[in-house]
Structure 1
Amino acid sequence: MKINTALLQEITAIAEEAGQAIMTIYARDFSVEEKADKSPLTEADQAAHNLIIERLGPLLGGVPILSEEDTEGFPGPDAQGRYWLVDPLDGTKEFIKKNGEFTVNIALIENGRPSLGVVHAPDLGRTYIGWPGEGAWRIDTDGKHTITVVGEHGGPWRVVGSRSHASPKMAQWLEQLGEHEMVPMGSSLKLCLVAEGAADVYPRLGPTSLWDTGAAQAVVEAAGGKVLAPHGEKLDYSRTDEVLNPHFLAHGRRVIDWPAWGD
């Protein structure tokens, strides 16, 4: 089964089912644990992981799955360089704060590149789909809409940034950028705001992992935008033994000389 509309619909359904499992737990009290890297873990992370693994497993003849919640069980990409990249609950801190800005991320990686991505925000009732080369869409209560990044426009730069990961380096970058307005947002929704033209640029000058960006990068690129590492190269997903991303910029069609930002 190659990438087609039926596969996109299947992945979207899986993401939405995982979102339903998350919302069941979101509606009641839940415990919060701490992983070895000090990041939080809730039962919603595990419930979504279990559902996604079960549903993704049979697709495409059993393509391997790299999930944030089971990195040790990942055997590596298959002989064709493919694997599923999953964050069952991206934005666990936002989930704990109950501000709604958390997502389910599912991407198909082929030869180091995201070839499709679904980002579902269950509390917001919103799903983003990216199929690079074919298009990007947003599904909400009003239906399914094609989305594209923005080009030139007047006014200050609209910069989307993290609610939970502010840094002095980011403040310095913004000062160099000049006139701007901040659009705070959690999880991979930051990338999706760039994809749908609600923000101009998302500078990420702190740590992220492959599963934080893969699905949303597919959405940005399918919408006509770019997600670039410090030397202008696209984020690469072929090195699964190194799950941390470099710093990156996500932006639309408008090109300027960005302030220095580096690794």
Structure 2
Amino acid sequence: MEPETPNLICDIARQAGQAIMEIYQGRIDVEFKDDKSPLTAADKASHDLIVSGLRKHFPDMPVLSEEGRDIPYEQRRGWTRFWLVDPLDGTKEFIKRNGEFTVNIALIDGGTPVMGVVYVPAQDRMYLGVAGEGAFRNEGDGPFEAIGVRSPDPSAGLTVVMSRSHPSPELDEFLEKIHVAEALAVGSSLKLCAVAEGKADLYPRLGPTMEWDTAAGQAVVQAAGGKVLRMDGTPLEYNKEELLNPYFVVTGDAGRGTGDEIQDSD
């Protein structure tokens, strides 16, 4: 990875966020995809801007985006490095105008996110994770500051972050097995960022997500010292034939009270 790559991706994400906010501040017209999920002009505008920016700066690297998902596995199975994009993660939060939506851009290498940018347009906040270099956050025009996961005290209970829009019976059952001191409802990939920056200890996702929903956030979590694990304890992987993720758990410090519950929850 070239040294300037993270800055380029942050710039592209910020430009996409600006395009989203122009629409956010006006009338929001909603369409629905075949799977009944919502789609807005902001999704489309962000997708177009990100894809054109990536192709300009990285013309030889493939791009897989939620709004351009129909690339056959026969074509992408040979990809070793590619960009994985969610132009507007949290469309439901966007429609509700609660500000909890993000722009997600991740670099996948060998099935693993090695760099990720999560930009929060409504708050002008950027999260960046680079494997081997660390995780960082900035606000507005301020400098990037290092972030990291925290070590929980299981005896005091865990702070658990969960989806604002996608509760599930499986999640309720999972939470019954652990000592929850505080539960935070958050939208989009901000849930992963909450673990990465030490605001939460655990994010169990026992409901459907797609690869583009999690890749950038996973890169930030891993760079911050955390883990994103499937229920069998193995890391979440990318560019599968089926782009639907299995259930997973994001842990801040899997060795200190947040990881033992994963394999016990089957």
**Aligned-CA RMSD value:** 1.6
CA distance in 2, matches of 1:179, 1:44: 36
CA distance in 2, matches of 1:119, 1:74: 26
Q: Is the 8 A contact 2:77 2:239 kept in 1?
A: no
Match of 1:219 in 2: 220
Judging changes above 3 Å, is the alpha-carbon distance between structure 1 residues 115 and 254 closer, same or farther for their aligned structure 2 residues?
Answer: closer
Match of 2:69 in 1: 71
Match of 2:234 in 1: 233
Q: Is the 8 A contact 1:194 1:202 kept in 2?
A: yes
Match of 1:98 in 2: 97
Q: Deviations over 1:193-249 (max 9, x none)?
A: 10000000000000000000000100000000000001111011031x311001001
Q: Secondary structure at the match of 2:261?
A: coil
- How far the C-alpha of 1:175 sits from its partner, in A, is 1.4
Match of 2:176 in 1: 175
Instruction: Within 5 Å, give how 1:76-95 maps onto structure 2.
Output: 76-77=75-76, 81-95=80-94
- One of 14, 17, 27 as aligned partner of 2:15: 17
CA distance in 2, matches of 1:179, 1:90: 27
Q: How much identity, in percent, do the aligned residues show? A: 50
Q: Is the 8 A contact 1:85 1:107 kept in 2?
A: yes
Match of 2:248 in 1: 248
- How far the C-alpha of 1:176 sits from its partner, in A, is 1.3
Q: Deviations over 1:58-91 (max 9, x none)?
A: 3334211100001124774486611110000000
Instruction: Within 5 Å, give how 1:94-173 maps onto structure 2.
Output: 94-141=93-140, 142-153=142-153, 155-173=156-174
The one-letter code matched in structure 2 to 1:261 is: S
Q: Deviations over 1:155-174 (max 9, x none)?
A: 32100000000111111111
CA distance in 2, matches of 1:89, 1:170: 25
| Structure ranking higher in helix proportion | 2
- How far the C-alpha of 1:143 sits from its partner, in A, is 2.8
The one-letter code matched in structure 2 to 1:149 is: V
Match of 1:258 in 2: 261
Of the structure 1 ranges 146-155 and 110-119, higher mean CA displacement relative to structure 2 is found in 146-155
| Structure 2 unpaired stretches of 5+ | none
- How far the C-alpha of 1:23 sits from its partner, in A, is 0.1
Judging changes above 3 Å, is the alpha-carbon distance between structure 1 residues 172 and 32 closer, same or farther for their aligned structure 2 residues?
Answer: same
Match of 1:38 in 2: 36
What is the aligned residue count?
A: 259
TM normalised by structure 2 equals 0.93
Judging changes above 3 Å, is the alpha-carbon distance between structure 1 residues 157 and 5 closer, same or farther for their aligned structure 2 residues?
Answer: same
Q: Is the 8 A contact 1:113 1:238 kept in 2?
A: no
- How far the C-alpha of 1:146 sits from its partner, in A, is 0.1
Judging changes above 3 Å, is the alpha-carbon distance between structure 1 residues 109 and 179 closer, same or farther for their aligned structure 2 residues?
Answer: closer
TM normalised by structure 1 equals 0.94
Q: Secondary structure at the match of 1:58?
A: helix
Q: Is the 8 A contact 1:63 1:78 kept in 2?
A: no
CA distance in 2, matches of 1:174, 1:78: 36
Q: Is the 8 A contact 1:152 1:254 kept in 2?
A: no
The one-letter code matched in structure 2 to 1:226 is: K
CA distance in 1, matches of 2:18, 2:194: 23
Q: Is the 8 A contact 2:107 2:113 kept in 1?
A: yes
